[in-house]
């Protein structure tokens, strides 16, 4: 599903965020990417949904070479990748409802279907009573759940979650992890980036460790 071959990512002339990273994530896998702050976790995810282009090396997602996709192919590919950004990237001027509806709106679904699915998702995430709020009016944890809602609403092929529990208390963390498991069970390939050792303590899932841009 995701294949990276000798990927390098350098910012400027000497700031190497990723060094010779090769990685293969199979369809239906659940993978943790871990490592200290600045290790390159976010950069790695960015390469996968093509927010950054690899300086060298190849990246294939769902069989497509990211060095050679057209604008339109990339848009279509991104619709099948749900992303929970570390900084959420919610639209501050749109309501919770509109933010979550965005992915469906982009997919061109009819309004009645959009309404139904958004209500369902918001209920599922415990945000039913926040639907008319704007992101700046929400707590960090609530914003995080809105971001998750937007990422999963379209039943994506791949879910990339960057520190999805970073702002949550232990109870909510457990809930979100349960949610991710549920999405995984439904067939989505899940990649979670986190520096939280707690999250990894008693998981039997595959863990990819990054350190200073290299896989260790």
Interface residues with another protein (CB under 8 A) are 49, 51, 71-72, 75-81, 83, 85, 89-91, 93-94, 102-103, 105-111, 150
Binding mask 15-44 for ligand ATP (x = CB under 6 A): x-x-----------------x-xxxxxxx-
Cα distances (angstroms) measured from residue 59 to each of 7, 24, 109, 171:
7, 10, 30, 36
Pick from 114, 131, 127: nearest CA to 176: 127
**Contacts to Mg ion by CB under 5 A:** 42, 86
17 or 153: CB nearest ligand ATP: 17
* Nearest distance in Å: CB 37, ligand ATP: 3
Going by DSSP bridges, is the β-strand pair 206-211/214-215 parallel, antiparallel, or unpaired?
A: antiparallel
55 or 86: CB nearest Mg ion: 86
* Nearest distance in Å: CB 139, ligand ATP: 20
**In this structure, are residues 181 and 6 in contact, taking their beta carbons and an 8 Å threshold?**
no
Which residues from 69-108 bind ligand ATP, rule CB under 6 A?
Answer: 86
| Conformational region of residue 12, where left means phi above 0, alpha means psi within -120 to 50, and beta covers everything else | left
Other beta carbons less than 10 A from residue 211's beta carbon: 13
| CA 88 – CA 164 distance, rounded (Å) | 9
* Nearest distance in Å: CB 41, Mg ion: 5
Kindly calculate the radius of gyration of the chain based on its CA atoms and give it in whole angstroms.
17
Please give the DSSP secondary-structure letter assigned to residue 95. -
**In this structure, are residues 180 and 190 in contact, taking their beta carbons and an 8 Å threshold?**
yes
**The entry of Mg ion, another protein, ligand ATP, none that residue 63 binds, CB within 5 to 8 Å by partner kind:** none
**The entry of ligand ATP, Mg ion, another protein, none that residue 53 binds, CB within 5 to 8 Å by partner kind:** none
Cα distances (angstroms) measured from residue 172 to each of 28, 165, 175:
24, 8, 5
* Nearest distance in Å: CB 162, Mg ion: 6
* Nearest distance in Å: CB 43, Mg ion: 8
Does 51 bind ligand ATP (CB under 6 A)? Our answer is: no
106 or 178: CB nearest another protein: 106
């Amino acid at each position: 599903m995701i294949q990276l071959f000798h990927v390098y990512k350098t910012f400027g002339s000497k700031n190497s965020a990723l060094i010779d990273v090769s990685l293969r994530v199979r369809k239906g896998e659940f993978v943790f990417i871990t490592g200290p702050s600045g290790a390159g976790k976010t950069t790695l995810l960015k390469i996968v949904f093509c927010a950054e282009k690899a300086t060298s090396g190849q990246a294939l997602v769902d069989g497509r070479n990211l060095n050679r996709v057209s604008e339109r192919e990339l848009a279509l590919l991104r619709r099948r990748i749900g992303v929970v950004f570390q900084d959420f990237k919610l639209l501050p001027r749109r309501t919770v409802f509109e933010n979550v509806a965005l992915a469906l709106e982009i997919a061109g679904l009819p309004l009645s279907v959009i309404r139904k699915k958004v209500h369902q998702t918001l209920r599922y995430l415990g945000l039913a009573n926040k639907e008319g709020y704007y992101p700046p009016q929400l707590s960090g944890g609530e914003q995080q759940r809105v971001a998750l809602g937007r990422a999963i609403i379209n039943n994506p092929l791949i879910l990339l979650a960057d520190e999805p529990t970073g702002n949550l208390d232990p109870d909510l963390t457990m809930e979100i992890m349960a949610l991710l498991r549920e999405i995984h069970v439904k067939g989505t390939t899940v990649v979670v980036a986190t520096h939280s050792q707690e999250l990894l303590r008693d998981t039997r899932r595959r863990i990819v460790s990054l350190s200073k841009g290299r896989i260790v």
